[in-house]
Structure 1
């Protein structure tokens, strides 16, 4: 009987020890299966609201080049698509007919000068003879009248000679502006008409304008105090680019609201290089003048639940919690949260990609890197803004 009691006691003690050993083992196993998730504390930064407008770039100077005199093209002096400077020779017309006219008029001017010299001598002689009463007053007045006619004839011929020399000069067709030249529409040997034949086109390329229309409500609420003298900065994105890499400023604001559309015409100026082309489609971003502090989170941290936006925050015991949020503007890979989060909140950086609310996690604390992202646009800002996807 005693042997059985001893065996039972030993078995009970063994089971008790086994149970004590399994409890921490199960806890360790559960911890090992927790999902490791990157978490970070939300950022608080001063931001400006951005307004986006579409536009097409325009060159401040654009010329449809036409000849000022008629003639036959003798020579083309440019390479299509090249940069040209004001005064560069582009086309040369056959100048011989105009040179002949100049030579003829120069001879006529010399003849008129000789006739004028004779008329001046006769007029002087008439004055002396009149004083001695050797000729009549009528004859003297006739010689004076002839002098005036010779002077007028010489002046007219000189004016014709100036015009002829201009026509001769215009046979050399030069660039009126700096810019990029297009194709030659008319080739060597063809006849062109003055003021009618378009030889080619030239557009300036060192500065570009971007006109866009701002609705009256937006302008009054966000930009009412902006003037052209402020040189309010804007950033621009060309088609096919992800970055708003081109920085310009407002240099013109129209003097009235368009009553038909309820918009205000505004122009941005970009003083850059040859990377911008007239006619390009572009998007303009203009920052509101007011700067406010907002909660900033990575855009990928925001999830969508039907019509709602939410963020997963880390609560007690590292359990994820569902937080309904209202999102604001996007700045590169970050977005503002206008309501739902506060200073000190810790969020799941990658959002609900692999986890959900109520799930315990193994948090991996990281720091959000906002370097290179512009949240405000100051007069000296040179940041590159990433486009919205």
Structure 2
């Protein structure tokens, strides 16, 4: 009997010791299984709001090239798609008919000059004879009238010659501007009509314009003090690109609000050095409001969506994640402004709710939010405006 009591007592003691051992090892085991999560303190930065508009690029100068004289194309002197300079020969017409007209007028002018010289001589003689009363006054006036007629005839022929020489010059059709030329619409050997036949088109390529419309409310609240002289900076993105890689400025603001749409027409200009911008291209324009305010900045991936709400996970007491509703603002590269819900000093899960959720204890791995390549305001180095927005 005593042996059984001793055995029972030993068994109870062993169970008690085992229970104590389990209780002592449970917390350490739990700590070993905590999820390691990257966390970071939110940034507070002075920022400007960016406004985005769509547009199509336009060339400052576009020419539909038409001939000034009718004729037959004898030669095409350009390669289609080339850059051309003002004054470069593009088309050459058969100039023989025009040269014949010039030669004929030259001959007529020579004849008119001889007749004029004779009329001058007779007019001078008439003056002398009148003084000696050798001829009547009427005869002297008649010779003077002939002189005036000969002068008028010569002037008329010289004007015709000038017009004929211009027509002869216009048989060489040159580029009126610097730019990029299109294809030849009419080829060698075809007859063209002055002022009607469109030979080709040329667009200037040193600059490109981008017109876009800003609604009246946005203009009054964000850009009311902007003028064309202030050269408000803008950045542009072409379709199919990720970066706003082109920098320009506003150089025209319309003089009135469009009453039908409630918008103001604005134009940005972009210098074109590498022939990468083409007239008619679709593009997106971004420009920053002049007002600057401090806002909380977090990685865009840290923001989760819950039905209609946006939220982030903050690190609370005992490294437990907490659910925080937020209101988001502008995006700046891979970062996002938060206008409400967070404050300076808050620590967040930088990768968002992908692997964790509210109420979950974590093992924090502290990192820093990198904002070195993001422009928050226009006061930053302009080269950083090409960051991905």
TM range (shorter): over 0.9
Aligned mates of 2:308, 2:95 — CA distance in 1 = 76
Q: How many residues align?
A: 387
Please report how far the alpha carbon of residue 380 of structure 1 lies from its aligned counterpart in structure 2 after TM superposition: 5.6
Cα-to-partner distance string for 1:351-370 (whole Å, 9 max, x where unaligned): 11010000001111111111
Give the match for residue 51 of structure 1.
51
Give the match for residue 33 of structure 1.
33
Give the match for residue 105 of structure 2.
105
Contact 1:245 1:384 in 2 (8 A): yes
Is 1:92 matched up with 2:124?
Answer: no
Aligned mates of 1:379, 1:369 — CA distance in 2 = 16
Written as runs of structure 1 = structure 2, the 5 A alignment for 1:370-385 is: 370-378=371-379, 381-382=382-383, 383-385=385-387
Is 1:174 matched up with 2:157?
Answer: no
Q: TM-score, normalised by structure 2?
A: 0.96
Contact 1:89 1:173 in 2 (8 A): yes
Give the match for residue 243 of structure 2.
243
Please report how far the alpha carbon of residue 25 of structure 1 lies from its aligned counterpart in structure 2 after TM superposition: 2.4
Contact 1:311 1:324 in 2 (8 A): yes
Matched position secondary structure for 1:367: coil
Is 1:325 matched up with 2:326?
Answer: yes
Written as runs of structure 1 = structure 2, the 5 A alignment for 1:191-270 is: 191-270=191-270
Matched position secondary structure for 2:143: helix
Aligned mates of 1:379, 1:189 — CA distance in 2 = 60
Written as runs of structure 1 = structure 2, the 5 A alignment for 1:310-349 is: 310-349=311-350
Inter-CA distance 27–380: structure 2 relative to 1 (3 Å threshold): closer
Written as runs of structure 1 = structure 2, the 5 A alignment for 1:300-315 is: 300-315=301-316
Contact 1:76 1:91 in 2 (8 A): yes
Give the match for residue 154 of structure 2.
154
Matched position secondary structure for 1:60: coil
Aligned mates of 2:235, 2:113 — CA distance in 1 = 66
Matched position secondary structure for 1:91: strand
Give the match for residue 165 of structure 2.
165
Please report how far the alpha carbon of residue 317 of structure 1 lies from its aligned counterpart in structure 2 after TM superposition: 0.8
Please report how far the alpha carbon of residue 112 of structure 1 lies from its aligned counterpart in structure 2 after TM superposition: 1.1
Aligned mates of 2:171, 2:261 — CA distance in 1 = 48
Q: TM-score, normalised by structure 1?
A: 0.96
Aligned mates of 2:379, 2:56 — CA distance in 1 = 25
Aligned mates of 2:21, 2:114 — CA distance in 1 = 134
Aligned mates of 1:26, 1:89 — CA distance in 2 = 91
Please report how far the alpha carbon of residue 65 of structure 1 lies from its aligned counterpart in structure 2 after TM superposition: 0.2
Aligned mates of 1:301, 1:123 — CA distance in 2 = 104
Aligned mates of 2:117, 2:20 — CA distance in 1 = 138
Q: Which moved more, 1:111-120 or 1:19-28?
A: 19-28
Matched position secondary structure for 2:382: coil
Aligned mates of 2:380, 2:318 — CA distance in 1 = 47
Is 1:139 matched up with 2:139?
Answer: yes
Superposition CA RMSD, Å: 1.7
Matched position secondary structure for 1:67: coil
Please report how far the alpha carbon of residue 261 of structure 1 lies from its aligned counterpart in structure 2 after TM superposition: 1.3
Give the match for residue 358 of structure 1.
359
Cα-to-partner distance string for 1:165-221 (whole Å, 9 max, x where unaligned): 111110000000011111100000000000000000001111011111111111111
